[in-house]
Structure 1
Amino acid sequence: MTLLREVHAWNAESHLSQTVRDLPPSGIRRFFDLVNEMDEAISLGVGEPDFVTPWHVREACIYSLESGYTSYTSNKGMPELREAIADFTKEQLGLDYDPTDQILVTTGVSEAVDLAFRATLNPGDEVIVPEPCYVAYVPDIILAGGVPRQIPTRIDDEFRVTPESIVPAITEKTKALVLSYPNNPTGAIMTRSDLESIADLVVEHDLLVISDEVYGMLTYSGTHASFAQLDGMYERTIILNGLSKSHAMTGWRIGYALGDPMLIGAMTKIHQYTMLCAPIMSQMAAIEALLHGEEEMLKMKHEYNLRRRLFVAGLNRIGLRCIEPQGAFYAFPSIAETGLSSEAFAERLLREQRVAVVPGNVFGQSGEGFLRCSYATSREELIEALDRIETFLDGL
Structure 2
Amino acid sequence: MSSSADISDSTSGSALGSAFRSAPHPSRMPALHVLLLGLHGLFYALLLVGLAGSGRPVAWLVGAALAAVYALGVAGHADTRRANSLWWLAAVVALWAALVVISPTTAWVVFPLYFLVLHLLPRPWSLIAVAAMTATVVATQATTSGGLTVAKVVGPCAGAIVAVLTAYGYVGMYRESRRRQRLLEELVRAQAELAATQREAGRLAERQRLAREIHDTLAQGLSSIVLLARGAESGLPEESAARVREIGQTASANLAEARRFVAGLTPPALDGSTLAEALRRVAAGYPRVEFRLDGEPYTVSMETEVALLRTTQEALANVERHAGAAHAAVTLAYHDDQVTLDVFDDGAGFEDTGSEGAARDDGRPRFGLHGMRERIAELGGTLTIESVLGEGTAVAVALPMRREAIR
- The TM-score normalised by the length of structure 2 is 0.19
Larger Rg: 2
Structure number with higher helix proportion: 2
Q: Which has the higher contact order (CA 8 A, sep 6+)?
A: 1
